[in-house]
Amino acid sequence: MRPADIVSVHTPSPTWQCVMICWGTKYSTQLINNLVRHIAAQAASVPRFVLITDADKPELLDGVQVVHFPARWLQAPLKRSGCQAKLVMFEQGVLPEDLPAIYVDLDTIVLGDLQQGLALLETPQTVALLPSALIPFGPLGRLRYRCTQGRHYARGNSSLVVFHPAHHHDIARRFLDLFARFPNFEFRPMIADERFISWAAQPHMKAIPKHLAVKFPGEFMFYWGWWLYVRALLPWVRARRRRLVAVTLNGLLVKPEKLLSLPDGGKIVDEKGRVLIWSPHTLGAVQQHIRDFYQGQL
């Protein structure tokens, strides 16, 4: 029996909290429970689990705290591809404010101790995201942000977010104020939750390093299929991939049910022309990790 099958998610005195968000019917309670078990089984200390949701979850594991969405975040425009409803995690009164938090998307596989991400909180104001643009978080990104008066800035991906809930209520407040003025997201940073986080907290943004977590398309897909084989052989890439704690399956074509339906050597080409080859020769141990993570869940 795997540790994830028997681990308890109860802890009397947590030192951090793991936040998840679910609306609609895309993700089953079984899948959420599976993610919770894996996180709890591998963390140095079991976190407080908080699920922000739009519906009761009667089959949810005991010990997972359920918080219901405030109605204003469930407006239809906020639940589309931009996922602006995720900004609810920054609203005052939604999350407990006593502990730092790591938000994790429900289509993430967790391979190690997610608690390591808390080391990124250099100050209480720090927000850490996966990097997703050429402009890096840090001094260069902040300089470009200042010089362009906020028009250009470093951006990240919000599949994982490391932050302290007590210090970022302004992100939700500013978004709601702008949404009242620009209901069609005419102000460009509003077009996606991750863009708005990056813009609103730019002075305090930090990148989640690639040895801790990666986006599956960015790490395991490329425009030239042959390069995937070469890259998987590079010793520094192999070493870094062995240390990975989380891999986010972001993108419609790399969802677990799609990946697990592929034969060995099967290929997917995404909308950007990047190729995935479903093979241990390109993915290494991650291929089997995905199979193990979702065994019996889909």
Query: Could you report the per-residue pLDDT of 151-185, keeping only the tens digit for each?
Result: 888 899 999 999 999 999 999 999 999 999 999 99
When pLDDT is averaged across residues 270-288 and rounded to a whole number, the result is: 94
Confidence at residue 298, expressed as pLDDT on a 0 to 100 scale? 65
First-residue to last-residue Cα distance in the chain: 19
Confidence at residue 216, expressed as pLDDT on a 0 to 100 scale? 94
Sheet holding 213-215, edge to edge: 108-110, 246-248, 213-215
Over 50: is that where the pLDDT of 1 sits?
no
Of 86-90, 143-147, 263-267, minimum mean pLDDT range: 143-147
Query: Residue 47's CB: how many other CB atoms inside 10 A?
Result: 25
pLDDT, mean over the chain: 92
- Say how far apart CA 90 and CA 73 lie, in whole Å: 12
Question: Where in the sequence of the chain do the CATH 3.90.550.10 domains occur?
Answer: 3-207
CB 77 within 8 A of CB 186: no
Regarding beta strands 213-215 and 205-207, do their DSSP bridges make them parallel or antiparallel, or are they unpaired?
A: unpaired
Confidence at residue 290, expressed as pLDDT on a 0 to 100 scale? 94
| Prediction pTM value | 0.93
From 3.50.50.60, 3.40.50.720, 3.40.50.1220, 3.90.550.10, which CATH number describes the 3-207 domain? 3.90.550.10
Over 80: is that where the pLDDT of 241 sits?
yes
- Over residues 223-239, the pLDDT tens digits come to 999 999 999 999 999 99
Of 152-156, 162-166, 218-222, 279-283, minimum mean pLDDT range: 152-156
- Over residues 4-42, the pLDDT tens digits come to 455 677 777 899 999 999 999 889 999 999 999 999 999
Cα-based distances in Å from 260 to 147, 215, 256, 275, 290 = 46, 17, 6, 16, 8
